[in-house]
Amino acid sequence: MEKFLNEINKYVISILLFFGGFGFLMKYLSGDALESQPLAMLFASLSMIAVGVVAMPMVLEKLDQKMYKRLFAVGVLGALGLAYSVFYSVDEEIEFQATQKAVNATTIQRLKDIRSAQESHLAVYGTFAETFDSLLQFVQAEVVPVEYNMGSFHDTLPEIQSRENGYVIKRADIALLAEKEGMTEEELRDLIMEDMSPYKVRDTLFTSFYNENFKPEARQAQRLPNVSLDSLPFNPYTGERFVMKTGAVEVGRVWQPTILVQDPTPFGREKVKKDTLRFGSLAEAHRDGNWRN
């Protein structure tokens, strides 16, 4: 038994190298069209198997010094080659990750802009736009209500009493009221703004989603990149149109509109499974994005 164990100990290194080499080789061969393994894994697995063979006592006994030196030189060169391959692959991966992060950030912002426009469409009409053409028409149409307020109420003349006394007016009433009061429209407007007049303006104006959210001045205020309506429906890098689907689900006996918008051409390496950026769901009434930020 002791003799058997001593013999086995001579082959421990070779056995470990065989197991490691064949393990990496099987992992490499198990890759498919969607998730392939790097070529360096194949070289590393074959190298481990080759070293395991050379490290066997029966092989070492048959090697003369000249052959041993040759194998040693080949091993050193192979190790240097694999070391460079590892360094290059790590450096390449860091650069790839930085590029992927930048590409995904731009795509995510485009999806967020589409979502904001669709949420506004839902607030105005109670449904989502079914096509990008109808969504772009909505974005430019002046149908988004905006509350217009001028002047503030106070304890001596609260809102209810002001309305009863006819002091709450519309924006269009300012010119006529100024004429009755014997002053210019600008003078009355200034008095109302400075709370030096009993009149208060409470009105609802209509503007476009573009003016409120996509106009260059609005984007600059939000510290966001400018939006081009012509390119809004498309992936900013591939030019492929985003896939947009709408539907409805029943939630608490009430039908709720649903939407799903996703990128048809996600960024990533060839033959590697990619995560498709998207927001919303057709099975649930939510508009969450699957990105992390």
pLDDT, tens digit (0-9, with 9 covering 90-100), for 41-86: 666 666 667 766 666 666 666 666 666 566 656 665 665 666 566 5
129 pLDDT higher than 90: yes
Alpha-carbon distance of 192 to 150, in angstroms, equals 7
Spans of all domains in the chain: 2-97
220 pLDDT higher than 80: yes
163 pLDDT higher than 80: yes
Once rounded to an integer, what is the mean pLDDT over residues 267-285? 82
C-alpha dihedral (62, 67, 71, 76), degrees to nearest 10: 140
- How many residues make up the chain in this entry? 293
- Mean pLDDT over all residues of the chain? 82
Alpha-carbon distance of 25 to 11, in angstroms, equals 21
Once rounded to an integer, what is the mean pLDDT over residues 197-201? 91
Alpha-carbon distance of 263 to 57, in angstroms, equals 58
Sign of the Cα torsion 161, 164, 169, 170 reads positive
Condensed to tens digits (0 to 9), the pLDDT of residues 82-102 reads 656 655 565 676 787 788 888
For residue 48, the model assigns a pLDDT of 67
Angle at 163 between CA 157 and CA 167, to 5 degrees: 75
217 pLDDT higher than 70: yes
Assign 254 a pLDDT band (cuts: 50, 70, 90).
very high
153 pLDDT higher than 90: no
